[in-house]
Amino acid sequence: MSAAASNSPLSDANDQPSGGQNDPQNNGPLNKDIIFVAGLPRSGSTLLCQLLGEHPLVDPAIHSSPLFNCLTMLRERISDNEFFLSQLDPDFDTAYERLDQAFRGFVHGWFAHSEYQWVVDKNRGWLSQVDLVKLLNPRNKILICVRELGQIYGSIEAQHQKTLWIDFPDNLARLSAYDRGDRLFGNSGVVGSALNALKSVQDLPQPIQADLFYVVFEHLMLEPIAVMNNIYQWLGLPPHAINPQDLTVRPHESDSYYRFKYRHQTRQKISPPSPHSVSLRMEKELRKSFPWYYQVFYPGLAAGGAGEAENA
């Protein structure tokens, strides 16, 4: 499979350094450079974080982060709190500034334990809240992992076949393979909800698009050195040579939450996986249901070819 381009297909890569979180235009002291990682399931985010952690200036923590969930749940609870709402009436600006600084303080405290200047926060939820990422700092950037949809489905189904006596969190084991795919890629499915968020991202203003870097799984697997060099430069990190055949293996996050259907193992060597066998019916349904995705990231397949993806 030929490699797909890993920088944003909708804009030129921004090669300027991030400038740190202590930007004079920023509303509050966040003293860490946060690398946000989001994207589709089974698209290489764990490997990407492992490779980011190979850089000596980046905190090697690779687990999915609940920071996004904490911030959004806290926002919901505060927004429903009548006592807080009453503070907005007499002096909205002061109350809202207090709220803004409190959230920034929460983020600051979240990373205060790390001795590294650069930290990684991985959560698919950031795709739906890019405005929050930019609010924390207008110079924040997001790495977004994508993969050919049939291979995402094939990866999930292959793992399910290894764990047939364990059900999915949303009880998909009782369904046929095709119906499982229909649920997984539905609007509320694990893959479908992420795809909807990714589709909405395409409508963001061009300046924000420049701060999104699409990491195509196939390209990362085939040319990890080139992809990571581009990413380091785009983030504003100094160059660093990785060795794809001698990576640091770190403890992986809990897989029991997703019932071992979406593994997060790290390995010492990068070995491109063998293509998963996917029914022609499923492949056609995916391309029919998500034409925009193939047009942006896999135009060779969008054109109707049944072979390899061309450069996106």
Q: Tell me the domain boundaries of the chain.
A: 33-302
State the pLDDT at residue 1: 36
Q: List the Cα angle 127/1/304 in 5-degree steps.
A: 80
CATH of domain 33-302: 3.40.50.300
Which tokens hold the place of 168?
Answer: 């999915």
Cβ atoms within 10 Å, residue 211: 22
Owner of token pair 């391309």: 287
Single-letter code of the amino acid located at 89: D
Task: Give CA–CA dist 140/27, Å, rounded.
Answer: 13
Q: What's the pTM value of the predicted model, to 2 decimals?
A: 0.86
Please give the chain's pLDDT, 312 residues, in tens.
Answer: 333 444 544 333 333 344 444 443 444 446 899 999 999 999 999 999 999 999 999 998 878 899 999 999 999 999 999 999 999 999 999 999 999 999 999 999 999 999 999 999 999 999 999 999 999 999 899 999 999 999 999 999 988 888 988 988 888 989 999 999 999 999 999 999 999 999 999 999 999 999 999 999 999 999 999 999 999 999 999 999 999 999 988 877 766 666 566 666 777 899 888 999 999 999 999 999 999 999 999 998 865 544 443 333
State the pLDDT at residue 259: 53
State the pLDDT at residue 16: 39
CB of 220 within 8 A of CB of 101? no
CB of 239 within 8 A of CB of 232? yes
DSSP 71-103: HHHHHHHHHT-HHHHHHHTT-HHHHHHHHHHHH
State the pLDDT at residue 120: 96
Which tokens hold the place of 221?
Answer: 């697997």
